[in-house]
Structure 1
Amino acid sequence: MNHFKRGILIGCCVLAAMMAAAQQRPHMYYSDSGVTAKPVAKDPKVIFFKGRYLMYYSVPGSDNKNWSIGIAESHDLTNWKKAGTIEPGADYEKNGLCAPGALVKDGRVNLFYQTYGNGKSDAICHAVSEDGIHFTRNSTNPIFRPTGSWTCGRAIDAEVVAFKNRYFLYFATRDPDYKVQMQGVAATASMNTSFNREEWTQLTDSAILKPELPWEKNCIEAATCIQQGRYLYMFYAGGYNNEPQQIGLARSTDGIRWQRLSAQPFLPNGKPGTWNESESGHPDIFKAPNQHYYLFFQGNKDKGRSWYLSKKEVLFKRGWMLKGN
């Protein structure tokens, strides 16, 4: 074979490999390589605020510690551009902050996040913003950590949602032996709240959802909720990162007692060779202004050496289903 033909053959092979890789990637495939040498973005939370979409996510520092919260913006929910970073500022955040939750109330963005790197002492904090980029911390931070013999006292992965004329705070915690991750819940007394520490009441002295199914292993975390009719639906992550982590679905009529809708994951990890082979995890359910629903999530194919954020459109017709699946 002459050099010309060999060059054509090599070029075709490279092109085929590039096309195959592109086909594996979803339309939305976002990560943050501005801090670390590798692309890493985790724990997505999406809102619509002042005419554009904002996505908050976790990103590590250069030493893979000292996590902060990245902010990206979009006008189509697919193409995202980084718009800012929330760095550790207060003393209680000195080891890092991450796992954002967010909602819009009274024309301001309310951000709920966890401290990081403090083990059993990690707790939920709150901040507010007029523009979605620059935040003022709540003076009562940390606003919540659980109590009781059922928990080690840690609270992470905050999700705050309005339901039945008050706000529910869902959080992940661990058992006293620090082995099993599970869901707990607190709530405010009414919708008229500043989300200060003294306004939260822990509603149960036990987990509201803990791992029971084989694929959930020893972890249920990262709850994200949305109301449909009289039900509050919870998408949650089962299994620790890359075990693989997969996404399950449960529902409740009171926000406290939950029933799984299937013994199988709603969104499993990808097949071997796909971009999310190692996991589909840490979900965020989002209703867009056009009334379409999207499930945002994190994934990777290299056991966590990189992390990307993506989404799938979901439909609700007497139940949730993945669009096109």
Structure 2
Amino acid sequence: MTAGIASLLSEFKLGRPVISGSGLPGSFDEKAVDCPFVFEHQGRYFMMYVGFDGIGYQTALAVSDNLTDWSFHGLILERERGSAWDSANAAGNWLLKEDRLDQPPLLKKWRGKYWMVYHSYPGEGYENGPGQIGIAWTEDDNLLQWNRSAEPVLSPFDGNGWEEGGLYKGCLIEHDDRFYLFYNAKNHRPEGQAWTEQTGLATSTDLIHWERYEGSPVLQVSGSGGWDSLFASDPFVVHDGNRWVMYYFGYNGRHAQEGIAFSDDLLHWSKHEEPIIRHGAPGELDEIHAHKPAVLLRDGVLYHYYCACRPYREGDPSNNNGEFRCITLAASESLA
């Protein structure tokens, strides 16, 4: 199943941020940026990403013509603009798009609208309280004005034990007239222990009503001591030839690193045993974590965006509780 993964790897790290938090007091991204999602629209490349200001998450777009230099385009999910369940946070994760890796990642419309998966936490602060997943939609070709669901479409309160602590990132795939929503979730923290995050699946025919797959979690953590022994999180699914590929990140309590898994049917997944992007050496941009993937192929080059973390240094543009957290890039060829 894991044979021939060389074409899916990105060994050359850019080594610099492509998007950083602004550090500007009161800005949506004052403290950090996170969770890249890159797509093509109207002849340009866009990145949807999340900003954190110490109060909560809000979601923005950046734009690029070369995939390495990005500029702010607009804020699309703001705090206090939704319903009660998502007024404190709104973290955009995925837009319905072309899923084949060998095709441009163009947005797709369904019933005349563009569709987004996002999630929200109920309280102010860093991921405070159990997260829930919602759906947003727009007819705005500029992608700046979005309508958000009045209620979450997936909640931990009616979920299973492995996910009852809260839901995180959603990944939305359309296949054979059915929607597949992959998402990572956590259990309740056992007394004196870290929680576990794993990846599950729900399906739908209308994007509003979802049925959990009974075989979830479809991507589970490894045994004790493994590089993904605590988290198998943030699914990013693409179709490659005759197989499905899931990029994800694993966490062992010290470092988060990027991994990859494979499936023939979107239901049953087999993980490659080793990380495909490892955390960096001391002093490097991703010294602490290299995680949260977004992948596309352009002109034969694989671009793998991810969130990089290292200890804050004097002169960094933003500081999130002693950590510098930014979005960076690795590729299958050198971008220097």
For this structure pair, what is the TM-score category when the shorter chain's length is used for normalisation?
A: 0.7 to 0.9
| TM-score, normalisation: structure 1 | 0.78
Q: Which AA in structure 2 matches 1:110?
A: W
Q: Distance in 1 between matches of 2:69 and 2:275?
A: 27
1:286 Cα deviation from its structure 2 partner: 2.1
Note closer, same or farther for the CA distance 1:172–1:219 as it changes in structure 2 (3 Å cut). Answer: same
The answer as to whether partners of 1:184 and 1:204 remain within 8 angstroms in 2 is no
Specify the alignment match of 1:42 in structure 2: 34
Runs of at least 5 residues in structure 1 that lack an aligned partner in the other structure: 1-23, 315-322
Q: Which AA in structure 1 matches 2:182?
A: Y
Q: Which AA in structure 1 matches 2:149?
A: N
Instruction: Within 5 Å, give how 1:15-94 maps onto structure 2.
Output: 26=15, 29-33=18-22, 34=24, 35=27, 40-61=32-53, 64-85=54-75, 86-88=77-79, 89-90=81-82, 91-94=84-87
Note closer, same or farther for the CA distance 1:132–1:80 as it changes in structure 2 (3 Å cut). Answer: same
The answer as to whether partners of 2:14 and 2:328 remain within 8 angstroms in 1 is no
Runs of at least 5 residues in structure 2 that lack an aligned partner in the other structure: 1-12, 97-106, 313-319
Q: Distance in 2 between matches of 1:173 and 1:207?
A: 9
The answer as to whether partners of 2:29 and 2:51 remain within 8 angstroms in 1 is no
The answer as to whether partners of 2:162 and 2:185 remain within 8 angstroms in 1 is no
Specify the alignment match of 1:136 in structure 2: 147
User: Could you list the per-position Cα deviations for residues 59-105 of structure 1 after superposition, in whole angstroms to 9, with x for gaps in the alignment?
Assistant: 112xx122111221111111111111121211211221225212222
1:225 Cα deviation from its structure 2 partner: 0.8
SS in 1 for 2:85: helix
Note closer, same or farther for the CA distance 1:69–1:185 as it changes in structure 2 (3 Å cut). Answer: same
Specify the alignment match of 1:123 in structure 2: 132
Specify the alignment match of 1:310 in structure 2: 328
Q: Distance in 2 between matches of 1:59 and 1:207?
A: 28
The answer as to whether partners of 2:296 and 2:302 remain within 8 angstroms in 1 is yes
The answer as to whether partners of 1:120 and 1:152 remain within 8 angstroms in 2 is no
Note closer, same or farther for the CA distance 1:155–1:36 as it changes in structure 2 (3 Å cut). Answer: closer
Q: Which AA in structure 2 matches 1:273?
A: G
1:36 Cα deviation from its structure 2 partner: 6.8
Note closer, same or farther for the CA distance 1:37–1:76 as it changes in structure 2 (3 Å cut). Answer: closer
Higher helix share: 1
SS in 2 for 1:216: coil
Note closer, same or farther for the CA distance 1:27–1:154 as it changes in structure 2 (3 Å cut). Answer: closer
Q: Distance in 1 between matches of 2:261 and 2:115?
A: 25
1:177 Cα deviation from its structure 2 partner: 4.0
Equivalent residue for 1:180, pick from 196, 202, 209? 196
SS in 2 for 1:92: helix
Q: Distance in 2 between matches of 1:92 and 1:218?
A: 28
Structure 1 segments of 4 or more deviating over 4 A?
36-39, 117-120
Moved more, 26-35 or 163-172: 26-35
Give the structure with higher Rg (CA). Answer: 1
Q: Distance in 2 between matches of 1:301 and 1:134?
A: 34
Equivalent residue for 1:96, pick from 83, 89, 101? 89
Q: Distance in 2 between matches of 1:254 and 1:105?
A: 22
| TM-score, normalisation: structure 2 | 0.76
Q: Which AA in structure 2 matches 1:48?
A: E
The answer as to whether partners of 1:217 and 1:238 remain within 8 angstroms in 2 is yes
Is residue 300 from structure 1 mapped to residue 309 from structure 2 by the alignment? Answer: yes
Q: Which AA in structure 1 matches 2:119?
A: Q
The answer as to whether partners of 1:282 and 1:298 remain within 8 angstroms in 2 is yes
SS in 1 for 2:32: coil
Note closer, same or farther for the CA distance 1:110–1:287 as it changes in structure 2 (3 Å cut). Answer: farther
SS in 1 for 2:160: coil
Moved more, 229-238 or 156-165: 156-165
How big is the alpha-carbon RMSD for the aligned residues of Structure 1 and Structure 2? Answer: 2.6
1:32 Cα deviation from its structure 2 partner: 2.9
Equivalent residue for 2:284, pick from 271, 274, 286? 274
The answer as to whether partners of 2:258 and 2:278 remain within 8 angstroms in 1 is yes
SS in 2 for 1:76: coil
Specify the alignment match of 2:234 in structure 1: 222
User: Could you list the per-position Cα deviations for residues 8-49 of structure 1 after superposition, in whole angstroms to 9, with x for gaps in the alignment?
Assistant: xxxxxxxxxxxxxxxx96365321305278662111011111
Note closer, same or farther for the CA distance 1:182–1:168 as it changes in structure 2 (3 Å cut). Answer: same
Aligned length: 282
1:150 Cα deviation from its structure 2 partner: 3.7
1:307 Cα deviation from its structure 2 partner: 1.3
